[in-house]
Amino acid sequence: MNKTTRLSRRDFIKLSTNVLFGLSGLLGLSGLIRYFSYLPATETPTEFDLGDVASYPIGSRTVRSDIPAVIYNRQGEILAYSLVCTHLGCTIENNDNGFACPCHGSQFDRDGVVLEGPAQKPLKRLRVEVLENNMLRLYTG
Protein backbone atom coordinates (compact mmCIF):
# COMPACT_ATOMS: atom_id res chain seq x y z
CA MET A 1 0.00 0.00 0.00
CA ASN A 2 1.28 3.38 -0.97
CA LYS A 3 0.70 5.76 1.84
CA THR A 4 0.99 9.47 1.10
CA THR A 5 0.66 11.91 3.92
CA ARG A 6 -1.27 15.02 3.25
CA LEU A 7 -0.55 18.19 5.12
CA SER A 8 -3.60 19.50 6.87
CA ARG A 9 -4.47 23.21 6.76
CA ARG A 10 -3.64 23.59 10.41
CA ASP A 11 -0.19 22.04 9.93
CA PHE A 12 0.43 24.16 6.80
CA ILE A 13 -0.41 27.40 8.63
CA LYS A 14 1.70 26.35 11.60
CA LEU A 15 4.65 25.53 9.34
CA SER A 16 4.26 28.78 7.34
CA THR A 17 4.09 30.84 10.54
CA ASN A 18 7.22 29.20 11.93
CA VAL A 19 9.12 29.80 8.67
CA LEU A 20 8.07 33.47 8.57
CA PHE A 21 9.04 34.01 12.22
CA GLY A 22 12.36 32.32 11.58
CA LEU A 23 13.09 34.48 8.52
CA SER A 24 12.12 37.69 10.30
CA GLY A 25 14.32 36.71 13.25
CA LEU A 26 17.28 36.16 10.92
CA LEU A 27 16.61 39.49 9.22
CA GLY A 28 16.50 41.27 12.58
CA LEU A 29 19.65 39.51 13.73
CA SER A 30 21.53 40.49 10.57
CA GLY A 31 20.49 44.14 11.11
CA LEU A 32 21.71 43.97 14.69
CA ILE A 33 25.04 42.50 13.59
CA ARG A 34 25.46 45.29 11.02
CA TYR A 35 24.62 47.89 13.67
CA PHE A 36 27.23 46.64 16.14
CA SER A 37 29.92 46.13 13.49
CA TYR A 38 29.62 49.72 12.17
CA LEU A 39 32.91 51.44 11.51
CA PRO A 40 32.79 55.25 11.45
CA ALA A 41 34.17 57.09 8.45
CA THR A 42 37.79 58.11 8.59
CA GLU A 43 38.37 61.38 10.34
CA THR A 44 38.38 64.38 8.06
CA PRO A 45 41.53 66.51 8.10
CA THR A 46 41.45 69.65 10.24
CA GLU A 47 44.63 71.30 8.94
CA PHE A 48 45.09 72.56 5.40
CA ASP A 49 48.10 74.15 3.74
CA LEU A 50 46.91 77.18 1.78
CA GLY A 51 50.16 77.99 0.04
CA ASP A 52 52.24 81.14 0.05
CA VAL A 53 50.95 84.41 1.54
CA ALA A 54 51.68 86.04 -1.83
CA SER A 55 48.93 83.88 -3.37
CA TYR A 56 46.43 86.03 -1.45
CA PRO A 57 47.11 89.68 -2.38
CA ILE A 58 45.73 92.49 -0.21
CA GLY A 59 42.02 92.95 -0.84
CA SER A 60 41.57 89.46 -2.25
CA ARG A 61 38.65 87.11 -1.55
CA THR A 62 39.40 83.49 -2.42
CA VAL A 63 36.76 80.77 -2.23
CA ARG A 64 38.25 77.32 -1.63
CA SER A 65 35.64 74.67 -2.39
CA ASP A 66 38.03 71.84 -1.48
CA ILE A 67 38.05 72.86 2.22
CA PRO A 68 35.22 74.55 2.02
CA ALA A 69 36.25 78.02 3.16
CA VAL A 70 36.70 81.57 1.98
CA ILE A 71 40.01 83.35 2.61
CA TYR A 72 40.32 87.14 2.78
CA ASN A 73 43.39 89.33 2.89
CA ARG A 74 42.33 92.60 4.47
CA GLN A 75 45.23 95.04 4.67
CA GLY A 76 47.64 92.20 5.37
CA GLU A 77 45.40 90.38 7.87
CA ILE A 78 44.43 86.91 6.61
CA LEU A 79 40.91 85.87 7.64
CA ALA A 80 38.98 82.71 6.85
CA TYR A 81 35.36 81.68 7.25
CA SER A 82 33.80 78.25 6.92
CA LEU A 83 31.41 77.77 4.01
CA VAL A 84 29.27 75.31 5.97
CA CYS A 85 25.83 76.70 6.79
CA THR A 86 25.17 77.00 10.53
CA HIS A 87 21.54 75.93 10.02
CA LEU A 88 21.83 72.31 8.85
CA GLY A 89 25.39 71.96 7.55
CA CYS A 90 24.91 72.46 3.80
CA THR A 91 27.81 73.89 1.81
CA ILE A 92 26.91 77.46 0.99
CA GLU A 93 27.51 79.10 -2.36
CA ASN A 94 29.21 82.32 -3.33
CA ASN A 95 27.00 85.13 -4.68
CA ASP A 96 27.35 88.88 -5.34
CA ASN A 97 26.32 90.03 -1.85
CA GLY A 98 28.11 87.33 0.12
CA PHE A 99 26.92 83.75 0.44
CA ALA A 100 23.65 81.84 0.09
CA CYS A 101 22.63 78.42 1.34
CA PRO A 102 21.07 76.39 -1.49
CA CYS A 103 19.24 74.09 0.93
CA HIS A 104 17.01 76.46 2.91
CA GLY A 105 17.83 79.96 1.61
CA SER A 106 19.91 81.45 4.42
CA GLN A 107 21.85 84.55 3.33
CA PHE A 108 25.21 85.64 4.76
CA ASP A 109 27.22 88.78 4.07
CA ARG A 110 30.94 88.72 3.18
CA ASP A 111 31.85 88.59 6.89
CA GLY A 112 29.61 85.59 7.56
CA VAL A 113 26.92 87.58 9.37
CA VAL A 114 23.38 86.25 8.86
CA LEU A 115 21.30 88.53 6.65
CA GLU A 116 18.34 86.20 6.21
CA GLY A 117 17.34 83.01 8.06
CA PRO A 118 16.58 80.27 8.88
CA ALA A 119 20.22 80.20 10.07
CA GLN A 120 20.61 81.95 13.43
CA LYS A 121 24.41 81.89 13.89
CA PRO A 122 27.07 83.56 11.74
CA LEU A 123 29.53 81.49 9.73
CA LYS A 124 32.34 79.99 11.78
CA ARG A 125 35.57 81.95 11.67
CA LEU A 126 38.55 79.68 11.05
CA ARG A 127 42.05 80.12 12.41
CA VAL A 128 44.77 80.91 9.88
CA GLU A 129 48.42 80.78 10.87
CA VAL A 130 51.37 82.24 8.98
CA LEU A 131 54.27 79.77 9.26
CA GLU A 132 57.97 80.66 9.36
CA ASN A 133 58.42 80.16 5.60
CA ASN A 134 55.56 82.60 4.77
CA MET A 135 53.20 79.70 4.11
CA LEU A 136 49.61 79.72 5.39
CA ARG A 137 47.96 76.94 7.35
CA LEU A 138 44.20 76.80 7.98
CA TYR A 139 42.73 75.04 11.01
CA THR A 140 39.08 73.96 10.83
CA GLY A 141 38.87 72.12 14.15
pLDDT digits (tens, 9 = 90+) for 114-125: 888 788 888 888
Would you say how long the chain is, in residues?
141
Q: Is the pLDDT of residue 21 over 70?
A: yes
Q: Is the pLDDT of residue 43 over 70?
A: no
The hierarchical CATH code for the domain 47-139 is 2.102.10.10
Give me the residue spans of the domains in the chain: 1-38, 47-139
The one-letter amino acid at 53? V
> Which residues, 6 or more positions from 139, have their beta carbon under 8 angstroms from its beta carbon?
46, 47, 126, 127, 128, 129
